[in-house]
Chains A and B, each alone.
Chain A
Amino acid sequence: MKIESILATKSLNVITVRPDQSLKDAIDLLVEHDIGALIVVDELGQPVGIISERDIIREAARTEPFLDQNVARAMTKDLIVASPQDDLGAVLQTMIAGHFRHLPIIDQERLIGVISIRDVLKVQLDEYQGEVDTLTEIIEGQD
């Protein structure tokens, strides 16, 4: 299964933040949209980093006060991105190995979505559950 099957049922809006915005702004956006990470984009809308709850907590632990610090200071700059055609199994392996939980999706050099490890696990769980249900119904449906 591919990433596009996750994107098909997700909002078209990608919630982003600029590097020069404050961490308070970032937290407000996370709370408002009930999400765990924001893609940091430059003035052209190109991703330059990602900032997650974990990045903000890390910054809070080392800087006080931290809310006025800018996003660029706390964000993860080594951004790994995926395409809609990437395989979910491979992506999950990469996320686990790399200890990250959110992945920006780029299509034709355009940011089109973000998927979380929860999204990937949910789709995979549904797939396995679907296979179990199909087999169960075949067995129960036998004459």
Chain B
Amino acid sequence: MPITAEPRHLDARYDVTVVGAGPAGLAAAIAARDQGAERILLVDRDAEPGGILRQCIHSGFGLHAFSEDVTGPEYAHRYVERVLERDLDVLTDAYVTDVTREHRVKLMSPTTGVTTVDTGAVVIGTGARERTRAQITIPGERPAGVMTAGLAQKLVNLHGYLPGSRVVILGSGDIGLIMARRLTLEGAEVLGVFELLPHANGLSRNVVQCLDDYDIPLHLSTTVIDIHGHERVERVTVAPVDEDLQPIPDRSRDIDCDTVLLSVGLIPDAELARQLQLSLDQRTGGPVVTSTYETSLPGVFSAGNNLHINDLADWVSQEATVAGAAAADVALGRTRARQDIAVTPGTNVRYVVPHTLSTDLTQTVSFRVKQPIYGDTIVRIGEAHRRKVRAVVPAEMVTITLGPRLLAAYAGETLRVDAVPAEQAEDAGTDGATDRDGAG
């Protein structure tokens, strides 16, 4: 379905402005309209909406959103169709450089120039950026041929170039695993995936279907300790690591290669959040939010990977749908939900989003564990919720939906979220206060 890339005109005032037209922004814009907001502006820095989904050509999307397994571009297509049906203002090739605390959005695009719009509410859907070489400090030379897996994915899937011929992948994040398969299918040789930790960071489905299927070795507890090559990568040195994750140089070896792809994690793109001086959660790297994903600055919402790194686009869309609807409510002057319960990470929980819950809403709690538990695991949210799951791993987010009926008794309290082996949960009794590693 065709759309014009530009709005017919840019209004001076919008009810809701959505920054970023990836899975979060698309869903937020749709929800804002469906909640009754009339004037909605959706801004994206790329030439067309869809965000990172455009280059994620693999399947595995939509199992929750559509009960169907679709590819990234198809997932985007379905949401963009819904945006078009609603006739929203979509401004592409545009970048939001600033949002003031008074909700004045400064943006630039070749068709509108440098301009500002006032808006009743803002939804930040700016996604994530990849960790780079500097953040994991690999010493050595700085030749061409070291790049993030996501940049390689863009070059291969959109532009039709290969990042190199002989590729080493550092980190077993899902993008790295998926790129190992993509590069193999497209004619490059992937020499191995090296993971510092003793377990893969990506989904086990991707380990089997992207590595094992193609006989690509996964080296756990091993890392790249040096990169060689003056102009272009020529070689890397890899070494196993000890229990403290320190490399053992005596057992190092060199691998001839021309490319190093980094798949060492994503970081919420919290640039706007920082400019707006929103309260940030050190654990997620994103803003602190209520159960409708409103940040510490009223009328500014955050959903998707700029809030916390989600494992599935489906959860991003779900979050953004709540945020978009709530943004419309704020813009239209409706009453906010009470935020009368605090949530905090407890035993074996790295972070929890959102940071407060409401006794008058149905809402979703998302969290990630610190350590994997392979076996029956008790997941509990204070006394309000307790559930047995078959396993928990850091690579997969846990999401739990809670209704007002469950929460009514806990107004004013702080609920701790724990994920513990089933047998320990029984030992710990019901007070939930036997945490050893605390909330940090």
The finding on whether chains A and B are genuine partners in a shared complex, rather than unrelated, reads no
Q: Residues on B close to A: CB < 8 A?
A: none
Q: Residues on A close to B: CB < 8 A?
A: none
